[in-house]
Chains A and B, each alone.
Chain A
Amino acid sequence: MAWHKKPKTNLTKLRLLRTFVQFIMFILMNLTFFLIGATWLVLPVNMPRSIFSSSEGAFFLLQRMLTMAIIPLIPLAVFFLFGAILGRFFCAWACPFGLFQDILGYLSSWIRKYEPTRETNLSLRQIGEFITGATLLFSTFIGINVALGETATVEAFDVFVDQPWAVLSPSAFLFTAIPLLFWWGGIENFFIWDKFVLIDIIFWLRLFIFIFAIIVVIYIPRGWCRWFCPVGIIMGELGKNSLLGIGRNISKCNHCGFCEDVCPMGIRILSHPAEKVRSQQCTNCLDCVAVCPEDAMEIKFL
């Protein structure tokens, strides 16, 4: 077999490029850190609003608008427009929590990764679907109560009334709670128990979910994106039919399976139609394109 294209070199170059783009996007989403004010930029990524962010993740804004009894036209438009054209492109190239998972993956590359079966992938994805559905239903319920002026009912849900999923989401913990702890206490106070215990039970729950997410991602590449992230669930459904996608030229393909081995989302590429990978999981990361020794994987539009 002639692996004349040195697939590994191409892959390293592509991954470096992607990490660079992810960093640039991360800075662009956090311009408030450089004292530039909030913008109305809404993107289909898992980026909660923090004290530094200058843009908003569509799913967090969607919850916020529903709980304020406002029809969330802009977040929905963002999902439909980006999803229809680019699919989950932002997951690979822009999402800060995706970048965090990629960094964890690089740092733990010496640990053996697990590749769950297709059935496990599908059943675990139902947890993400549940999170998405429950968040939307609960946000709507709060919104209806706000509209009806039922303040007692609304107040009963305490911290959950603004953005229910933000309370538990590990990305909100990473980008909101952790910077706040440093901002509030300074690094020298961070580990002082007296101050730490002022933070309530919800804090410990968030910390638990955050650590759980880290463990999942260490053993399964992009584990959070595969199964639990509501943005991934919504964009995946739209991305299955997106105009941008990855196709396989069957006249060139020699079935070596390299593309499947490197796919961070564990997609069984060879069992998909050659015309386009029609998976909810494909993030258009292009790893399979970079690694294919026969140049059989191609970027497709339309």
Chain B
Amino acid sequence: MKSNAKAFLAFSLGIILLAIAISTNQFELIQEIITEITKSAKAAIPVP
């Protein structure tokens, strides 16, 4: 039971973090970051 309590605690923390992320539009932000990382991945090795 003690382990389940820890799991529920971690789950609640995850939900709280997700709620703050949604309310601060962090999903849009990470989509921008991900697009930008893809571009920089392509540019990582210079074409000789």
Contacts and interface: CB of A to CB of B under 8 A. Distances in A.
B33 A61 contact: yes
Interface in B17-40: 17-18, 20-21, 24, 26-27, 29-31, 33-35, 37-38, 40
Given A40-B34, A49-B38, A74-B26, A278 B20 contact: no
A74 B18 contact: yes
B41 A176 contact: yes
Contacts of B42: 51, 180, 183
Q: How large is the interface on A (under 10, 10 to 19, 20 to 34, 35 or more residues)?
A: 35 or more
Contact of A84 (B11, B33, B38): B11
Given A162-B40, A181-B45, A184-B45, A77 B21 contact: yes
A73 interface: yes
Given A76-B17, A80-B14, A81-B14, A65 B33 contact: yes
A11 interface: no
22 contacts: A37-B35, A39-B31, A39-B34, A40-B31, A53-B38, A56-B37, A64-B33, A65-B33, A68-B33, A70-B29, A73-B17, A74-B21, A77-B17, A80-B10, A81-B18, A84-B11, A177-B45, A180-B42, A180-B45, A240-B3, A241-B10, A243-B11
Given A39-B31, A49-B38, A74-B27, 9 more contacts: A70-B26, A70-B29, A73-B20, A80-B10, A81-B15, A85-B11, A162-B40, A177-B44, A243-B11
Interface of A: 32, 37-40, 42, 49-51, 53, 56, 61, 64-65, 68, 70, 73-74, 76-81, 83-85, 162-163, 176-177, 180-181, 183-184, 195, 198-199, 238, 240-243, 276, 278, 302
Interface of B: 3-4, 6-11, 13-15, 17-18, 20-21, 24, 26-27, 29-31, 33-35, 37-38, 40-42, 44-48
